[in-house]
Amino acid sequence: MKTLLVYYSNNKDVQGLCESCANGDVDVLRLNERYHRSHLWDLTVGTYRAVSGRGSRMKDININLAEYDSLIISTPVRLMNPHSIINEFLHRTSLSGLEVSALLVHSGNIVGGAADILRKRIVLAGGSCRGVVSITTKELREREYDVLSLAGYKLKAAAGA
């Protein structure tokens, strides 16, 4: 079973967490915006695009999703929504036949319905949403996690509840 981890982050903690997962069974793909954007652009226009469900222009990716059985998406939260670059990935990509898990990383403020929004967007892209895990950046720093065990542990716990 081969898994693809797709993520976007400007946070070095999250980037390190995702990149450390690369091994024989897991490939890691970092999404990048096509144009260099300032932090102010990301907080204003980028947030507006995230809230409206629109994407940001991203660099072309050459990946064959048919090679993978499952997909993990990791994204920061922007005003209770997944990041705009993740929206663009979901708009461009057919997730048909893939089991998808997601990790939302936030600052600890109210996350709201970000998990529900991401679930809906995954389903609209054709994927089967296994579950969405939410974690704060502070919790990431305090404990040593990797995305695979974090998603697996939290999702099993949620299913048993």
pLDDT-derived band of residue 79, with 50, 70 and 90 as boundaries?
A: confident
Q: Calculate the alpha carbon distances from 43 to 83, 94, 109, 113, 152 in Å.
A: 10, 28, 15, 19, 31
Q: What's the whole-number average pLDDT of the chain?
A: 78
Q: How confident is the model at residue 50 (pLDDT cuts 50, 70, 90)?
A: low
Residue from 41, 128, 129 nearest 85 by CA: 41
Could you give the C-alpha distances from 138 to 10, 108, 132, 135, 144, in angstroms and in order? 15, 8, 18, 8, 11
Angle in degrees, CA 145, 148, 149, rounded to 5: 55
Per-residue confidence (pLDDT) for residue 110, from 0 to 100: 61
Candidate CATH numbers 3.40.120.10, 3.40.50.1110, 3.80.30.20, 3.40.50.360; the one for domain 3-160? 3.40.50.360
